[in-house]
Chain A
């Protein structure tokens, strides 16, 4: 026995050969030992797992048959692939199709797809997935009133912290977990498919946070917060001498160049374990390399090269809350300007998909699986940082770099799902199409107010290029389809220009419907408003609420008065003319929600829904509940396109490999269409109709 290690030590026999015969013999150091032990466990685990699932598969199949849920019995297709291209505009598609610029989409059947009122992504995608109108799923805007009171809260999700904590010195240990609740009601149609034994992969469909259980896999999208708990807060570290500032989407942090070095801290989540929840931070160092093109960044033991205008990969950041608790996130940096006037952009700190601080997928291991397969990826709901460009923290090229990187991550997930789901549903929503149109619509109009002071000519082709890229994605998707697969390419709405902003609260103040307290200055979220004299206020992007007695905290409008007041407001708003161009009607139509909606959640709707005219939208100040400034003003920000207009102006698209039996469809028809294609009975609650009706016998 004693000679055994000696023979090993001689190294006469190649270690690899030994490895195949006896792991112990091939042991040459802990690292290699791990490799061998781990490999053995992998093989053992994989074979065991596969064996168990393969053995159990006939049993599961039998159970399904016995329970009468034989999947695909009445299906007309084997697989349905829905490619959601957020914001793809019907008119623009028509233009590019006519010019022969979208050859792959040209090979599909096309009909316009009507959107919801209001034409907003959370509302529209909720209708898409549930087949219900807004009063059926309960979402009417990004924001809703936080009653009692007049502040705003996110309409789709609510988070409640544990009510009790255990005091332990400086620590306050929460007794329980935060409760995150999805406010969208209704049932996504892939849940219904799952009940009939059909597997689905739903990737980044908006309004799916927190994830819900169903038969399939899903990755959450819109409304997934960053680690700060916001919908995305970027940081711009700047050594240009400017004061610190905070805008809606980001923070500007002054830094100083000392020698050739900048030391700063990245702010992360509030510390959940300490009273007052002070923000957790991690320090980092930027070393300048002389010129303005390059620098290096040292963050938590890792050093990465910074190249001007290029985003880094997703870097892991670990925030230590104490008591051994770590909160992990992912951040990427972009060197905006090097040298002594350094400007460094840091993205919002995304939840780490490998170890998310909040649930972001169904099942919980799906987000981990994607991270293991393809590396870390963006998890924030609104991942493309439009705010950073809007605030000019980054420029257009940097925005495109960041946006298309995220798009490529999504493509990898989507094509993986296409490989993995051979029967069933694959639905994936891509957001770049929406974000790019928001930020570059100005470049298509030479006289757009947002062009002032910005480079325009160089980016004139960005939107067309994006449409071509989406068309290419469609082409690659079609190449992966089988003969029994169906492909739908849809968008939730189209697009319009956003040239002028209307501050509805300022208009209400001018017209006497919203009253400020004596000597009060107007401020955000209705600061200075005298609610005892205010009859209406605007909240969100397209809603006007009456200050109804019994509903609002300090309501003064009675039920009898309400109807007349709504009619009066509607008439005045529709008659409104742009003071700078009397020929323009900022508001095309005003909708009375009570007469429009009949679903169970109609009471949660704004009293009036505004259908803005083409080129108009609520102004930036108006959207924050601010009643100051002019009622109508130019929009000079990069966010120069929008869809929050009269829905009739911004239909989405519906392309299909199958021939539609209707000439026009609505988003609410998608759920019945998908269920009908799989031969699953459409619930009576759904009022939409299948787009591909069966031929009658």
Chain B
């Protein structure tokens, strides 16, 4: 299912990438806002939310209307906090329901928006992390030179037993997608390396197991080398800037969906 989703996101995001990250994120935020609002309307107690909100406002108004009596002010404050909990309670079930789809969306958007590809000539760190329980003396992992000249391994492996990690410094030589090829104990495995410009999918981690498949859906899980937990490539983070303030993509996405959903909730008749 994850692969199907990855394909769907790729089909959608590949052409969107041409319009730039902001616009692409905006379109996705809009679609997410609409879908999530409809889901929220479907799975939430709309009448209950309406009543809960009304009671919260009622308590706030009570603080103002009966301000002559300090005890009423305190009671109004307590009432507002109590009703607020009731309001949050109504959001709990839809929140649980939406965790799965929103989680999947975030997982699949992350490779597209979180990082920029490496520039030709740039230097990065490539790390192989040993699986827990494996031999912490670190196996003899080898990073092979590129057949196509896409990258150059500049350093011998740096073995850090305390972290269970083996690092290399790699220089990117050309644009495009290529494979970092490794071998250990006679078994080989690879990790995608992305360089160039634009907004391609950039997978920073290739991991193993069910969790690896869930969190890093861009590449297949590591199945051939049981001693290795994951392979990590450092990519530059993509920043989204508004009025001079930089923020990570997910925060920009949150804010955009929130604002768009706020604008759309009335036309879509959603009480939230």
A residues apposed to B, CB below 8 Å = 1-2, 4-6, 8-11, 15-16, 19, 24, 26-39, 42-43, 45-47, 49-50, 53-54, 56-57, 60, 199, 215, 217, 301, 363, 365-366, 368-369, 371-373, 375, 420-423
Contact = CB atoms under 8 A, between A and B. Distances in A.
A28 B102 contact: yes
B63 interface: yes
Contacts of A24: 251, 254
B137 to A, nearest CB: 27
A421 B68 CA distance: 9
B237 A422 contact: no
Given A1-B237, A372-B55, A31 B65 contact: no
Contacts of A35: 87-88, 90-91, 95, 272
Interface of B: 32-33, 36-37, 39-41, 44, 51, 53-74, 76-77, 80-81, 84, 87-88, 90-92, 94-96, 98-107, 110, 114-115, 204, 211, 214-216, 237, 248, 250-251, 254, 257-258, 260-262, 265, 269-270, 272
A34 B262 contact: yes
Nearest to B215: A6
A301 B41 CA distance: 15
12 contacts: A2-B114, A2-B115, A19-B88, A29-B94, A29-B257, A30-B262, A31-B272, A32-B98, A36-B88, A42-B84, A43-B81, A373-B54
Contacts of A1: 114, 237, 248
A423 B36 contact: no
A366 B61 CA distance: 8
Contacts of B92: 16
B98 A42 contact: no
A63 to B, nearest CB: 13
Nearest to B63: A49
B90 A33 contact: no
A49 B64 contact: yes
Contact of A10 (B61, B88, B114, B211): B211
A53 B75 CA distance: 13
A480 to B, nearest CB: 15
A10 B214 CA distance: 7
Nearest to B38: A31
A34 B65 contact: no
A372 B272 contact: no
Main secondary structure of the interface of A (DSSP, over half): helix
B55 A11 contact: no
B106 A32 contact: no
A373 B248 contact: no
A684 B32 CA distance: 71
Contact of B61 (A199, A365, A421, A422): A365
A29 B61 contact: no
A206 to B, nearest CB: 22
Given A29-B39, A365-B65, 4 more contacts: A9-B214, A10-B103, A31-B94, A31-B95
A29 B44 CA distance: 13
B167 to A, nearest CB: 18
Contacts of A36: 88, 91
Nearest to B261: A30
B114 A33 contact: no
B69 A28 contact: no
A39 B80 contact: no
B96 to A, nearest CB: 7
Given A9-B215, A39-B87, A365-B65, A46 B81 contact: yes
Contacts of B251: 24
